[in-house]
């Protein structure tokens, strides 16, 4: 499809929603406040596509910063459907990836003494060792270094600009700890994950020519899920957009800010909407959920919003399932009663999700589903594929190509090659290097078509024929090769963990598998029916949430995210006479 035709159709489709239409056509700084199910990703991708076609002249392009790699893949897929393919003109990735590939890698060598030559990103064990060495240097042998580092990391994420008095004016001993830790990393030629946006900020702050170079390449900056991205991203936005002239298009929802433990702060998004030089557009129409679920969700949130459903849409259902017993009995009730009831009402397993607060609760659900012979696919941190790992997601995408995707270009081979080049060369390879890597990748992929391999056997070849070849030549400072060994362990056939390759690849449509996910991992997703498990007074909110007003508000937002995932039915499972206090508010609003 021609990109002009695809973009024109997408813009025409937005005419039915004036807020979406206005946002996609805005040519100044713009913040889109998008509630659940309001079509924010559709609005964002259409705005990006229109900007590339109408506003930005080749070879200039746009950058889009996302919360995680999964969001980036979703945006790339949607843009491809509009005829906009991934290219040098369009960066889509996390703030860490943007900092590393667009700022640090191209420009750090121009700044004497900034970073060691051929630096790389430290492994977790190397970070822990650096914390212990720095702690002993600053504090001696007293106390647990890793407990104290939790407080240091919070300061490190919050106090981005170290020239401000607050850096040493508040908790100066933590500033010493952080600086000693970073010095130890540099002594070993390392940076860590959180270094990336911090170093990029200092480079852009101190060197206006880097700002000019970024503005020349990316005159427009898009940011998805702004409320989740924290202080470093916010400071970068202030520098690039309001001091350097890059146009900002940000999308977010403070009500869905649930990553406070990583430094996210919904007040940063709200501060943008207070600026006179930014147009704020609110998307109020919920295309996902029935009216009853929308009303109930406001009970979960505990605040009023002017969201409304689509006229003529279904009303939605709320069902409540009290159980006499704690988690294990609640999980058994889901497997023996709740799921069969939903199936009896016409839902398919692949249309159903079971959501819970933490992965250990998922382990309890898994045990009950296995006893009931109910098939499932898991997407939390105990899943086979680590959603935050680019290498794991690349392996998953390759498996998807092998198990049928090659027939319909899903995923396109060009995207796989781009991912491989990024993994090995950081995206910057010579033509000869790119051609050689493409030959290796294509030979491996073709050899797997109709080979009948299990996931473990295929991963073994993946590690042997690709990763072992690429690792010695890699110039990417952020290497994740150990992820391959972890995936092989998780599919060990001697432990009964192996599976068909199409299951690993995610090609399970129509195969009848219920989705298991934490609230955090389910953010941005939707299902016909959602079962919320463990909605007990001691679980949500738990004792940690009750320690501060900020923590309690975030727990409530987390509950709200779970409640807003279903299209047609929401089921709440909890211990009888011991349910979350928010269940009663949800019930009252949903009537």
> Is residue 93 domain-shared with residue 225, that is, in the same domain?
yes
Pair of tokens at residue 88: 């040098």
In-domain check, residue 115: no
Q: Please count the other Cβ atoms lying within 10 Å of the Cβ belonging to residue 17.
A: 19
Query: Which of these, 249, 247, 163, 233, lies nearest to 200 by C-alpha position?
Result: 233
What is the C-alpha separation between 26 and 24, in angstroms, rounded?
6
Pair of tokens at residue 206: 């101190």
Residue set of the binding site? 34-41
DSSP strands (E only) in 59-112? 62-66, 90-94
What is the C-alpha separation between 466 and 440, in angstroms, rounded?
7
What is the C-alpha separation between 427 and 480, in angstroms, rounded?
15
What is the C-alpha separation between 489 and 463, in angstroms, rounded?
12
Asked whether residue 511 carries a pLDDT value surpassing 70, the answer given is: no
As beta bridge partners, residue 62 has 90, 220
Q: Please count the other Cβ atoms lying within 10 Å of the Cβ belonging to residue 520.
A: 18
What is the C-alpha separation between 101 and 17, in angstroms, rounded?
36
Whole-number pLDDT of residue 336? 97
What is the C-alpha separation between 331 and 368, in angstroms, rounded?
6
Asked whether residue 422 carries a pLDDT value surpassing 90, the answer given is: no
As beta bridge partners, residue 91 has 63
Structural domain tally of the chain?
A: 4
> Is residue 491 domain-shared with residue 394, that is, in the same domain?
yes
Whole-number pLDDT of residue 142? 79
> Is residue 92 domain-shared with residue 229, that is, in the same domain?
yes
> Is residue 208 domain-shared with residue 169, that is, in the same domain?
no
Q: How confident is the model at residue 476 (pLDDT cuts 50, 70, 90)?
A: confident
> Is residue 96 domain-shared with residue 206, that is, in the same domain?
yes
Whole-number pLDDT of residue 377? 82
In-domain check, residue 113: no
pLDDT digits (tens, 9 = 90+) for 327-347: 999 999 999 999 999 999 999
Query: Which of these, 349, 30, 286, lies nearest to 295 by C-alpha position?
Result: 286
Q: Do the Cβ atoms of 301 and 553 come closer than 8 Å?
A: no
Instruction: List phi, psi (to 5°) of 140.
Output: 80, -150
> Is residue 258 domain-shared with residue 329, that is, in the same domain?
no
> Is residue 575 domain-shared with residue 435, that is, in the same domain?
no
In-domain check, residue 184: yes
SS3 190: strand
What is the C-alpha separation between 420 and 284, in angstroms, rounded?
40
> Is residue 494 domain-shared with residue 534, that is, in the same domain?
no
Asked whether residue 383 carries a pLDDT value surpassing 80, the answer given is: no
> Is residue 468 domain-shared with residue 585, that is, in the same domain?
no
Q: How confident is the model at residue 2 (pLDDT cuts 50, 70, 90)?
A: low
Q: Can you say whether the dihedral through the CA atoms of 151, 154, 158, 162 is positive or negative?
A: positive
CATH number for the domain spanning 233: value is 3.40.50.300
In-domain check, residue 401: yes
pLDDT digits (tens, 9 = 90+) for 296-321: 998 888 888 888 888 777 788 999 99
Cα distance between the two ends of the chain: 46
What is the secondary structure of 442-469 as a DSSP string? HHHHHHHTT---BHHHHHHHIIIIIIHH
pLDDT digits (tens, 9 = 90+) for 237-272: 999 999 999 999 999 999 999 988 888 899 999 999
In-domain check, residue 403: yes
> Is residue 300 domain-shared with residue 378, that is, in the same domain?
yes
What is the C-alpha separation between 333 and 321, in angstroms, rounded?
9
As beta bridge partners, residue 190 has 120
Task: Tell me the whole-structure pTM to 2 decimals.
Answer: 0.87
Q: How confident is the model at residue 176 (pLDDT cuts 50, 70, 90)?
A: very high
> Is residue 132 domain-shared with residue 177, that is, in the same domain?
yes
Element (H or E) spanning 154, and its range?
Answer: helix 145-158
Q: How confident is the model at residue 590 (pLDDT cuts 50, 70, 90)?
A: low
Domain boundary among 134, 159, 192: 192
In-domain check, residue 80: yes
What is the C-alpha separation between 493 and 479, in angstroms, rounded?
27
What is the C-alpha separation between 108 and 92, in angstroms, rounded?
21
Domain boundary among 283, 311, 329: 283
> Is residue 95 domain-shared with residue 211, that is, in the same domain?
yes
pLDDT digits (tens, 9 = 90+) for 138-154: 998 778 999 999 999 99
In-domain check, residue 117: no
pLDDT digits (tens, 9 = 90+) for 197-245: 999 999 999 999 999 999 999 999 999 999 998 899 999 999 999 999 9
What is the secondary structure of 231-281 as a DSSP string? HHHHHHHHHHHHTS--EEEEEE-GGG---GGGT--HHHHHHHHT-TTSEEE
Whole-number pLDDT of residue 264? 87
Q: Please count the other Cβ atoms lying within 10 Å of the Cβ belonging to residue 334.
A: 26
In-domain check, residue 112: no
Q: Do the Cβ atoms of 403 and 505 come closer than 8 Å?
A: yes
pLDDT digits (tens, 9 = 90+) for 80-97: 888 887 666 889 989 999
SS3 138: helix
What is the C-alpha separation between 183 and 377, in angstroms, rounded?
43
What residue has token string 């035709």?
5
Asked whether residue 27 carries a pLDDT value surpassing 90, the answer given is: yes
Domain boundary among 505, 536, 561: 505
Pair of tokens at residue 233: 């991203």
When the pLDDT of each residue in the chain is averaged and rounded to a whole number, the result is 91
Write out the residue range of the structural domain in which residue 153 sits: 123-192
Q: Do the Cβ atoms of 51 and 220 come closer than 8 Å?
A: yes
Residue set of the binding site for ATP? 34-41
């Amino acid at each position: 499809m021609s990109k002009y035709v695809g973009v024109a159709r997408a813009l025409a489709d937005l005419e039915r929603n004036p807020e979406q239409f206005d946002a996609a056509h805005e040519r100044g700084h713009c913040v889109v406040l998008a509630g659940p199910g309001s079509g924010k990703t559709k609005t964002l991708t259409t705005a990006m596509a229109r900007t590339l076609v109408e506003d930005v002249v080749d070879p200039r392009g746009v950058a889009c910063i996302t919360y995680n790699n999964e969001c980036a893949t979703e945006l790339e897929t949607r843009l491809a459907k509009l005829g906009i393919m991934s290219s040098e003109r369009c960066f889509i990735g996390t703030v860490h990836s943007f900092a590393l590939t667009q700022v640090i890698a191209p420009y750090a060598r121009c700044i004497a003494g900034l970073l060691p030559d051929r630096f790389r990103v430290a492994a977790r064990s190397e970070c822990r060792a650096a914390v212990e060495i720095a702690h002993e240097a600053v504090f001696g042998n007293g106390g647990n270094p890793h407990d104290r580092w939790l407080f240091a990391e919070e300061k490190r994420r919050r106090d981005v600009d170290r020239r401000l008095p607050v850096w040493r004016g508040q908790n100066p001993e933590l500033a010493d700890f952080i600086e000693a830790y970073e010095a130890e990393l540099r002594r070993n030629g390392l940076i860590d994950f959180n270094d990336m946006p911090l170093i990029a900020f200092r480079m852009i702050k101190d060197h206006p020519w880097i700002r000019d170079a970024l503005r020349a390449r990316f005159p427009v900056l898009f940011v998805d899920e702004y409320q989740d991205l924290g202080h470093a991203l916010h400071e970068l936005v202030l520098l690039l957009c309001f001091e350097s002239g890059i146009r900002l298009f940000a999308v977010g929802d403070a009500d869905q800010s649930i990553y406070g433990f990583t430094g996210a702060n919904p007040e940063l998004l709200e501060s943008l909407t207070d600026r006179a030089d930014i147009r704020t557009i609110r998307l109020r129409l919920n295309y996902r959920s029935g009216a009853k679920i929308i009303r109930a969700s406001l009970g979960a949130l505990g605040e009023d919003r002017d969201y409304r459903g689509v006229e003529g849409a279904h009303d939605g259902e709320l069902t409540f399932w009290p159980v006499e017993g704690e988690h294990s009995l609640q999980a058994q009730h889901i497997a023996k009663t709740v799921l069969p009831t939903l199936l009896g009402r016409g839902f398919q397993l692949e249309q159903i999700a079971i959501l819970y607060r933490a992965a250990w609760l998922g382990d309890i659900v898994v045990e009950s589903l296995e006893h009931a012979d109910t098939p499932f696919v898991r997407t939390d941190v105990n899943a086979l594929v680590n959603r935050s790992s680019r290498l794991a997601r690349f392996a998953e995408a390759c498996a998807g190509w092998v198990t049928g995707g090659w027939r319909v270009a899903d995923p396109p081979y060009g995207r796989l090659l781009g991912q491989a080049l990024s993994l090995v060369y950081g995206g910057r390879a010579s033509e000869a290097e790119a051609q050689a890597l493409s030959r290796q990748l294509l030979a491996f992929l073709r050899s797997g078509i109709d080979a009948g391999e299990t996931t473990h056997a295929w991963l073994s070849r993946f590690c042997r024929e690709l990763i072992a070849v690429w690792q010695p030549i890699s110039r990417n400072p952020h290497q994740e090769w150990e992820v391959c060994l972890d995936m092989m362990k998780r599919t060990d056939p001697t432990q009964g963990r192996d599976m068909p390759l199409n299951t690993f690849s995610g090609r399970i449509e129509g195969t009848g598998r219920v989705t298991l996910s934490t609230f955090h991992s389910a953010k941005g997703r939707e299902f016909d029916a959602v079962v919320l498990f463990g909605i007990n007074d001691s679980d949500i909110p738990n004792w940690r949430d009750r320690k501060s007003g900020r923590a309690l508000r975030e727990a409530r937002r987390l509950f709200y995210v779970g409640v807003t995932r279903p299209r047609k039915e929401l089921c709440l499972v909890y211990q009888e006479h011991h349910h979350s206090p928010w269940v009663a508010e949800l019930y009252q609003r949903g009537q």
